[in-house]
Structure 1
Amino acid sequence: MEIVFVCTGNTCRSPLAESIAKSMNNQFQFSSAGLFAYEGGPISRNSERIIQEEQLAPATLSHQFDEADSRKDLIITMTNGHKAHIKAMYPNSNVYTLKEYTGAQGDIIDPYGGDYGVYLNTYHELSHYIEKMINKLSDN
């Protein structure tokens, strides 16, 4: 099963989510993309710092969400806005917000521009919901 995490620029939340998921589970294929990403760009300094400090799997370079991504088995977005954007472009895509997929509501707040503590909060929130997501996928 191929799962892609999506955020705005693919520099903070989605690469961090990809890295967390890869570190929690090797049964599924995880990747990440951004709706407005700079192709091949690096992830944010604070996301990279967390990946290194937590000894997580490395994230891929920044990637622009495209038609191939829209055909992946599961698309997990960070916000309802990201989900709506993908649904408008690719109506047949299997897309959910991370919280929605795990039975919760709301968005994963963008840490962009915040200090390390803001990124750490995002990391903990992502870890919580990704663990729930993987448990749900493993049960199916």
Structure 2
Amino acid sequence: MKKIVFVCLGNICRSPMAEFVMKSLTDDYEIESRATSSWEHGNPIHKGTQAIFKNHGVDYDSSKTSLQISKRDFEYFDYILGMDESNVSDLRQMCPQSLKHKIHPFAAESVPDPWYTGDFEETYDRVLTGCRDWLARLENEINDGKY
């Protein structure tokens, strides 16, 4: 089973949103989320993200707390998806050279951080689209024998 980790700055808004949206779409992959920073370490999912989950009927683990990505995570996960350009850049600086091929942008356009924008609905829309796009990409890789 391929393993995917979504990564944003604090792991309380975008990356847990992507984690649980993706889990709602498939159970074919191991899916988790992390932070590039330790700023929110141990804090729960943001109340705005929790409200999105409730509004859209997305099941989530209410005991999930923020975790910073670790060296073990870079080794363990097959796909490390940064939610914006800054996250991807930070991941590339943190990651061992031999594992940088695992790092990818989550979407063609960065997903805005609702911590700053306050627009959790826009973030949800972009996360849902991005998760669907990644599922299609993974399915294509399976069909093309790359997986």
Normalised to the residue count of structure 2, the TM-score between the two structures is 0.84
The match for 1:97 among 74, 92, 105 is 105
Mapped partners of 1:7, 1:134: distance in 2: 19
Q: Structure 1: which 5+ residue stretches go unaligned?
A: none
1:1-140 matches, cutoff 5 A: 1-37=2-38, 38-59=40-61, 60-71=64-75, 72-90=77-95, 91=97, 92-93=99-100, 94-99=102-107, 104=108, 106-115=109-118, 118-140=119-141
Instruction: Show structure 2 runs of 5+ residues with no match.
Output: 142-147
Deviation at 1:42, TM superposition (A): 0.5
Greater Rg by CA: 2
**RMSD of aligned residue pairs (Cα, Å):** 1.4
Partner AA of 2:59 in structure 1: A
> What's the CA shift for 1:61?
1.9
1:41-99, CA deviations, whole angstroms, 9 ceiling, x for partnerless residues?
A: 10111100111221213153211111122121000001122111111121223101111
Tell me, in whole angstroms, the C-alpha distance in 1 between the residues paired with 2:4 and 2:24: 14
Answer whether contact 2:10 2:41 (CA < 8 A) is retained: no
Give the distance between the partners of 2:59 and 2:78, measured in 1 at CA: 21
Alpha carbons of 1:86 and 1:114: their partners in 2 closer, same or farther (altered >3 Å)? Answer: closer
Question: What's the offset of the Cα at 1:121?
Answer: 0.8
Identity among equivalent positions (%) equals 25
How high is the TM-score relative to the length of structure 1? Answer: 0.88
Aligned mates of 2:116, 2:8 — CA distance in 1 = 15
Q: Which amino acid aligns with 2:16?
A: P
Whether contact under 8 Å (2:24, 2:58) holds in the other structure is yes
Which one is further off, 15-24 or 49-58? Answer: 49-58
1:67 & 1:52 partners in 2: Cα distance? 33
